[in-house]
Amino acid sequence: MSATDPRNEQREKLVKERDVLEREVTRRAREAAGKVVATRPQVNPELTEECLASVAARAVKCVASASTADPKPATGSRIAEFEAWSADEGTRHVALASHGARAEGAKSAVAEDFPEASAAHLAIDGRLGEQWLVGNPAVLTVTFDKTETIDRVSFHNTKDLLTEGKAQGATPADYEIQVSADGETWRTVASNTGREPWSAAHGIERMRREVTTPEEAKQLAAVSAEIVQLDRALKAVPPLREIWAGKYA
Q: With bands split at pLDDT 50, 70 and 90, how would you rate the model's confidence at 112?
A: low
* CA 222/CA 141 separation, integer angstroms: 31
What pLDDT does 20 receive?
Answer: 96
pTM value surpassing 0.85:
no
Q: According to the model, what pLDDT value does residue 4 have?
A: 65
* Residue whose C-alpha is closest to residue 66's, from 154, 138, 146, 165: 138
pLDDT at residue 199 tops 70: yes
pLDDT class for 209, splitting at 50, 70, 90? confident
Q: Which helix (H) or strand (E) holds 109?
A: none
The rounded distance, in Å, linking the Cα atoms of 75 and 129 is 20
The pLDDT value recorded for residue 161 is: 47
Q: Which residue has the higher pLDDT, 93 or 107?
A: 93
Upstream peptide bond of 214 is cis (omega within 30 degrees of 0): no
Specify the pairing of strand 48-67 against strand 172-180.
Answer: antiparallel
pLDDT tens by residue, 211-242: 999 999 999 999 999 999 999 988 888 876 76
pLDDT in tens, 127-161: 887 889 999 999 999 999 999 999 999 999 865 54
The 3-state DSSP class for residue 223 equals helix
Question: Which of the two residues, 13 and 118, has the higher pLDDT score?
Answer: 13
- State whether the Cα torsion 109-114-117-121 is positive or negative: positive
How far the first Cα of the chain sits from its last, in Å, is 31
What are the CA-CA distances from residue 207 to residues 22, 28, 50, 66 (Å)?
Answer: 13, 8, 22, 13
